[in-house]
Structure 1
Amino acid sequence: MKTGTNLFADVVIVDDDEDDRFLMDYAIDQLPLNLNVVTVSDARDVLTYLQKCQRPPSLLITDLNMPCLNGFELLNLLKQSTHYRDIPVVVLTTSQAQEDRERCYRAGANAFIVKPGDFSEVTKLLHSCIQIWLGSSRS
């Protein structure tokens, strides 16, 4: 878990793939914004982090297919909680299955996006997500 000592995050990234976490964190760092990003490798870790943080993050980006607790289960837990249900959740996954997309939206996902393979596309995608859910006034 990359949290430092700060118990507040603008953006939380949940992905079991270390390379994907690094890529997304790096892409966000390239944006002309001052954001605190927390990355975790497991959905259980994000639940622990949320219990300790000073306030809920402004955006949570999660992978879908993770061991132990997958993105569907994480979505269900978040959206059933009075404390966390208002956190915007973007599912960023390699899955292109329509069934997965529909299941995520039924569980309360704000967006379902297939991971692009190109770094510049990842950066554009994350910038768009941040503008939508955090506002363009972040700096």
Structure 2
Amino acid sequence: MATKPLFLIVDDDADDRDLLNLAYQEGSYQCDLVFAEDGREALKLLEQSPVRPSVMLVDINMPGMNGLELLQKLKSSARWKGMPVVMLTTSNNPRLIHDAYSMGANSYLVKPDNYHTLSSLWDALYGFWTNTAKLPTYAVSQGVS
């Protein structure tokens, strides 16, 4: 029996997490969402989860370990470097966009400024990562390196 895809959303802004969760709840999505408030919490969740996330949505500007630091840690790990990471942030800074792609981000999206557009974005993200993209399967027996 296949498990449902898992989306790990890493964002320190409670309002942004709530809006993504609302968009998720209003649809009929066959996936699970897990939230982390920063990069350190995301790494702890990855270490403890029996299910490997299908994709991570990561904000950049967070206290503790920011999104680029998390991305660097993931992409330098043999276990996690193949996991898709989508940067979902408020910044449209060309330097951050360049840095994110240079570090291995699979996509860079700017957070919409209204709920309707965010809901449409979530729908597109879900559809792409669950129906269009082909993702590898992984055993979750090894720790974060």
**TM-score, normalised on structure 1?**
0.87
Deviations 1:57-87 (A, max 9, x none): 0010010001111111000011111111121
Aligned AA (1:78): L
Rounded to whole Å, the distance in 1 between the matches of 2:79 and 2:90 is 29
Which residue in 2 is equivalent to 1:44? 40
Extract unaligned runs of 5+ from structure 2: 133-145
Which residue in 1 is equivalent to 2:139? none
Which residue in 2 is equivalent to 1:53? 49
1:55, distance to aligned residue in structure 2 (A): 2.9
**TM-score, normalised on structure 2?**
0.84
Rounded to whole Å, the distance in 1 between the matches of 2:5 and 2:29 is 13
Extract unaligned runs of 5+ from structure 1: 1-7
User: What's the Cα RMSD here?
Assistant: 1.4
**Is structure 2 residue 40 aligned with structure 1 residue 13?**
no
Q: Does the aligned pair in 1 maintain the 2:6–2:55 contact within 8 Å?
A: yes
Rounded to whole Å, the distance in 1 between the matches of 2:52 and 2:82 is 9
Which residue in 2 is equivalent to 1:99? 95
Q: Which runs of 4+ in 1 moved over 3 A?
A: none
SS across alignment from 1:113:
strand
Q: Does the aligned pair in 2 maintain the 1:9–1:38 contact within 8 Å?
A: no
Identity of aligned residues (%): 35
Pick the structure with greater CA Rg.
2
Rounded to whole Å, the distance in 2 between the matches of 1:134 and 1:108 is 20
